[in-house]
Amino acid sequence: MDLRGKVAIITGVSKGIGLATAEALLARGAVVAGWGRTAPESLTHERFQFFECDIRDEVAVQEAFTNTQRELGQEVHVLVNNAGIGNFGPVDGFSSDDWHAMFDTNVHGLFYCTKAALPQMKKQREGHIINVASLAGTAGTANLAGYCATKYAVRGFSDALFKEVRPAGVRVTCVMPGSVETNFNGATPASSPTRTKCNPKTLPPPLCMPWKPRKPS
């Protein structure tokens, strides 16, 4: 997709992968709507506009989408479902509030955003939805049962959605990065990549990372 002048929505835009993706898409000529609870401090660009939105709230998501269309135009070409949180710990000592917070953000919020953007993409018969999962969605890890469960859900949702909307001209990509130097889970990112973690600014933009779902058995 030629991104020049195309509108892209990115959730969780304030830092980490969301911020790096916004910068990458701006460099390719896109008009970026950044959704999040807080605005990025380091991003100022004539083609970037921030919309405050807590994706756990479906009404807030719909309002953010309406405001995006009003400010940037009716057509929306890209949705990057990046916002996510991780709460870790053993299952028998895990807080139910932390469990629900992860599913409300990583799964329900992703659904709300997709549901808001999809009718317009179908109408224009062009669009690309990118869901940011994780390698935690490919194999279970001790003390990450809840987080893994949300990312497995993102993978399953993406696979099904791919098959559902492809005839309408809408593409779906699911990316599964490993450890990345971000503020995820309250961590303080290092100034340069370590031997075991990537820097979000050096990752290829999600639009350059096609995902090919397995054929149904």
Task: Report which secondary-structure segment, H or E, holds 123.
Answer: helix 110-124
Using CA atoms, how far residue 63 sits from 81, 88, 97, 199, in Å, is 17, 32, 26, 33
| Residue 65 identity | F
To the query of whether residue 152 is one of the catalytic residues in this protein, the response is no
Encoded tokens for 93: 């000592």
The catalytic residue among 35, 51, 65, 147 is 147
Query: How large is the C-alpha radius of gyration of the chain?
Result: 17
Collapsing DSSP to helix, strand or coil, 161 comes out as helix
How many degrees, rounded to 5, is the angle at CA 15 between CA 10 and CA 18?
Answer: 25
In angstroms, the CA 53 to CA 69 distance is 15
- Contact assessment for residue 54 and residue 37, using Cβ atoms and an 8 Å cutoff: yes
State the catalytic residues: 147
